[in-house]
Amino acid sequence: MESPFNDPHVAAVFAALPAPLQPPLLALRTLIYDVAGDLPLGETLKWGEPAYRPRAPRTGTTIRINALRGSTTHYALYVPCQTNLIEIYRDLYADHLSFEGKRAIILNAADPRPEAILRHCVALAFGYHSDRRART
C-alpha cells in the first residue's frame, strides 16, 4: 500500500523524476514502508534525495533512493558509506545485484525488481545499529 507524502518537497522530487523511473522508484518507496511495518519511519530529503530512517534512536541507518544522475533507465538505493552494509549485500547477493562503491545498489528500470532481496537489504539497514549492539 502506498503511503501518502507528508513532505511536499519529497513529493516534488518524485514528481520531477524521469517518467520511466517514477513507477519503479514509487514501488521501491512502497517496499521500504512495507518493510518498516509498524516501525515509525521518517521521510525527508537528504542531499536532495528521498531518505528514510527509523525514528527510534540507535536502531537503523538511513536509506536514500533516487534516479542515477543523468539516467532515465537506472536508479539506486543508497546507504551510508561508513557502514558495512554494501559489503554485507555483496556477500549475500553479488550474483543478483549491481553495486556502486560502498554506497549503492544499482537497479535497472527495465529489469524485474528482486523484491525479496531488496526487502532483506532494507530490513538489514533498518536494524543496522540494533544488530551491531547484539553482536558485541
pTM: 0.92
Report yes or no on 3 lying in a domain.
no
- The pLDDT value recorded for residue 75 is 98
At 80-93, the pLDDT tens digits run 999 999 999 999 99
Report yes or no on 126 lying in a domain.
yes
| Domain coverage including residue 100 | 8-135
Report yes or no on 120 lying in a domain.
yes
pLDDT band at 131 (very low <50, low <70, confident <90, very high): low
- The pLDDT value recorded for residue 136 is 35
Report yes or no on 28 lying in a domain.
yes
- The pLDDT value recorded for residue 134 is 39
At 29-82, the pLDDT tens digits run 999 999 999 999 999 999 999 999 999 888 899 999 999 999 999 999 999 999
Is 22 a residue whose pLDDT tops 60? yes
Which CATH number is 110's domain given?
3.90.1150.200
In the sheet with 98-100, reading across from the earlier edge strand, the strands are 41-46, 49-54, 63-67, 74-78, 104-108, 98-100
Report yes or no on 2 lying in a domain.
no
Q: How far apart are CA 60 and CA 126, in angstroms?
A: 4
Report yes or no on 123 lying in a domain.
yes
Q: How many domains does the chain have?
A: 1
Report yes or no on 86 lying in a domain.
yes
What are the C-alpha distances in Å from 68 to residues 27, 84, 95, 133?
16, 21, 21, 33
Report yes or no on 119 lying in a domain.
yes
